[in-house]
Every structure is written in structure tokens, then in C-alpha cells.
Amino acid sequence: MTTTPPKKDFPNRFGALPGQIGCGNRGLEAEVIRRTLRGVWPSLPALLVASVAVCAAATVPVLVAPGVNPIAAIVTAVSCGPFLAALAGMTNEIAFDGQTAIRSWWSALRQLWRFGLLSALVPALPAGLLLVAIEVIRLSGSPLVWPSFVVTGMVTAVALLSFMAALPLGAARPDLRGRALWIVAVSTVATRPTRFVAVASAIGFLVWTATEWSASLLLFVPAPVAIVAVTATWTSVAATQPSILEPLIRS
């Protein structure tokens, strides 16, 4: 009688065995953080290029629809979405491979521009409605508008936080799109909300610092935010939904 030899578990590129992946262990979370932080320095030129591209795209709504208004929200999503997706794709590469390059940015932009544009519209649409509600309240003062203001405000907050998780998830997993992507993104944020609030706090702090010291510092804001967002996403996924991470770390 022949016996089947036991199946051998090969370490994946995060150093964990496939049988350990489903545990959502903290070792995997720590490895995500370690790889990302270690890969930042050799990837600085590529991150700078990607940051400058995002900032250049952000000037479009300033020229087309200056001010805080619904049109500016939509134009910002259309102009910045593709470049934010490319930046997320590059930062994913740092998290999983330890380094990225400028050519990776161009490749990510070509592959992810449509995904980034459509994803950015998800929070932009309720944000536009929120701005409309604010303007109506300012002009009329009608209490009938307050329910719309509250609902659109809550939807905008959830959509913005989920967008921070949706970009890294969708950039790494092309099979996650549409409703499936946003269900995973919302559940990821819901299970570890403080990590994504930290991303929003980082945006506010870095923008405030840049405006207080020098507007040129805004060029360096997108990359650190992307690093925090990607780290928050994949550590949360490793802890709560490791099956999503498994195909990536086994490759």
C-alpha cells in the first residue's frame, strides 16, 4: 500500500506559513508595518513623483471651480482619483515587495486610472450633496433641511473613511470591484475604525503644518498619507479578514 507524503508548507513572502494565515495573528500585522517602513527610504524618489502628480491634479478644481462647492468635489474626484489609485498601488508594492520605483507608478496609473476615478466618485457624490445642504441651510435657515444635512454628513464620513481602505484593496485585488469591494472596505473600517480615523487625522495635521509653514510642503503630503492608509488597511485585513490577504502573500 502506498502512502501519500505529507504536504509541505512553503513560507510565503511575509514569512508566515499558509496554515497560520487564517489566524489573523499579530505577527503578520507587524510584518506589514516592518516591510512598509523599511521600504520607504529606497522608494522616496518614486513616492515624491507620485505625490507631486497628486498635487498637480489637485490644482484642476482650484482653476475650474474655485472654493468649497459641489462642483469642486466632483472635479476633485475626477482629477485626483486616478493619481491617488496609482499612489496606493505603489505603496502596496512597498508593503508586499519592500520597494517600488517610478516605472511602477506609471504602470499603476495606466492600470488603475479608471478604478481610481470611479472609486473617488463614491465619497465625492455624498460630499457634494452635503455641500448643497449646507448652502441651503445658510440661505434659508429652514429646519426641514437639517435631516438631509445629518444623513449626507454621516454618509460622507463613512464613504471617505471607506475610500481610504478601498483604494489599497482594489489596487491589490483586481477581482474586488463594485459592491464587493465596498462591502469589504466598509467592514474593514468598521472593525478597526481608529486606524482610519488616524489616517484622516494625519491628513489634517499635515495639511495644517504645510499651510502654517510653507505651501510647498503640500507636495510631500500625499505620500505619508498613503503609507499610513495602506498600513492601516493591511494590518486591519490581517487581523480580521486574512483570507483577503492570503492570495497576495502567497504569490
User: Tell me, what DSSP letter sits at residue 106?
Assistant: H
Sign of torsion over alpha carbons 21, 27, 30, 35:
negative
Answer whether residue 177 shows pLDDT above 60. yes
Mean pLDDT, range 75-91, rounded to an integer: 95
Cα gap 212→5, rounded to integer Å: 66
Least confident of 119-123, 217-221, 240-244: 240-244
Answer whether residue 23 shows pLDDT above 50. no
Confidence of residue 189 (pLDDT cuts 50, 70, 90): very high
Confidence of residue 1 (pLDDT cuts 50, 70, 90): very low
Cα gap 203→200, rounded to integer Å: 5
| Mean of all residue pLDDT scores within the chain | 84
Least confident of 27-31, 82-86, 231-235: 27-31
More confident residue, 13 or 191: 191
194 CB neighbour count, 10 Å cutoff: 9
27-39 residues labelled b (16+ CB within 10 A) or e (exposed): ebbebbeebbeeb
User: Residue 110: its pLDDT value, please?
Assistant: 93
User: Residue 11: its pLDDT value, please?
Assistant: 35
User: Residue 31: its pLDDT value, please?
Assistant: 79
Confidence of residue 66 (pLDDT cuts 50, 70, 90): confident
Mean pLDDT, range 91-112, rounded to an integer: 89
